Amino acid sequence: MDDLLFSYADETTPRFKRRVIRTVERLTGQPKLKRIYVDNQLRPRAGESFWSAAVRRLRLDVRFDAARLAALPKTGPLVIVANHPYGVLDGLVIAWLAERIRPDFKILTHAVLLRAPEAAPQLLPVDFSGSPTTMATNLASRAAARDHLAQGGCVVVFPAGGVSTSPDRLGRKPAQDAPWQPFTAQLIEKAKAAVVPMYFEGQNSRVFQIASHLSLTLRLALIFHEVRSRMGAELRVAIGAPIDPSELAQAGDRRAQMADLRRRTEALASDLPARCSPERRGVALKSRIATVSAKLSLGLKRD
């Protein structure tokens, strides 16, 4: 399997930067994630999507209100927005949630995921590399998002455009999204799309926060470490009620609309679903251990 599939560095990345990113990735989680991906390709579950397989293989315990998800508009133009605390996990999970109710969804996300062919049909790549093709890629994705909404589709977007970062160089303060970009308001306005905000609890590690202030290269190199460290974790997501575009327009111009939408999204932090009880998590862990033990036993018998 080509290492390019599992790296935030590619052939357009300067050589020294590429070496640093790939070295850190290999030391902090990339090999494990690569094995999981390859194993799923070799032994896929019939009918399982890339997003469902990712959530299952990473053993993510996603906590969300199923009734609120079911209340999302099932037809017509829809924009789903969210904060961006993790970089990969929140992208995988929000796509997994969107797919359940709007299989016609497309997600604006980092171009690195485009290297997984199973996910490509749902992706509108955003290129942060600064390569000669960056502007063309991003303009094409923006146009595709507008066209998809014009046809009554669903578009998922992280309006901050980047992963939440602590404003403190030592990572002592909570991570925050960058200002939400007005392009999302443009999408909503032109398509007269309903908007559904989602809020992800949590943030990346303190190491990631410190690295983000030191070097963009280190920040990118640690993304897979953040995924690896949260395998088997509980992720709580709050889902808001659909917002009519005319209601959002009352906030003012596009920047004011995005500030208002961000406030509404972050307010969902007080409405997160309940955590899984320690007893239930214990039962789930025992079940996983039993499953792994059974597979190992079967493998030994075959040998």
Higher local confidence (pLDDT), 62 or 279: 62
pLDDT of residue 176: 97
pLDDT of residue 220: 81
pLDDT of residue 300: 46
Prediction pTM value:
0.85
Mean of pLDDT values over 127-154:
89
Return the biggest CA–CA distance within the chain: 68
Is 164 a residue whose pLDDT tops 80?
yes
E-state strands within 75-193? 78-82, 105-110, 123-126, 154-157
Indicate the range of 91-100, 112-121, 165-174, 200-209 predicted with least confidence.
Answer: 112-121
Indicate the range of 155-169, 212-226, 254-268 predicted with least confidence.
Answer: 212-226
Residue 8 — left, alpha, or beta (φ > 0 → left; ψ -120 to 50 → alpha)?
alpha
CA 236 to chain centre: 13
Indicate the range of 5-19, 159-173, 236-250 predicted with least confidence.
Answer: 5-19
Mean of pLDDT values over 83-109:
96
Q: Which domains does the chain have, with CATH numbers?
A: 61-215+230-296 (3.40.1130)
pLDDT per residue as tens digits for the range 57-77:
999 999 999 999 999 999 999
pLDDT per residue as tens digits for the range 19-52:
777 777 777 667 777 788 788 888 889 999 999 9
d(CA 57, CA 295): 15
pLDDT of residue 114: 64
Is 288 a residue whose pLDDT tops 70?
no
Is 215 a residue whose pLDDT tops 90?
no
Mean of all residue pLDDT scores within the chain: 86
* Tokens (6 digits) for 49: 């999507």
Mean of pLDDT values over 154-175:
96
Q: Residue 165's beta-bridge partner residues?
A: 176
**SS3 at position 14:** coil
Is 296 a residue whose pLDDT tops 50?
no
Are 93 and 235 spatial neighbours (Cβ–Cβ below 8 Å)? yes
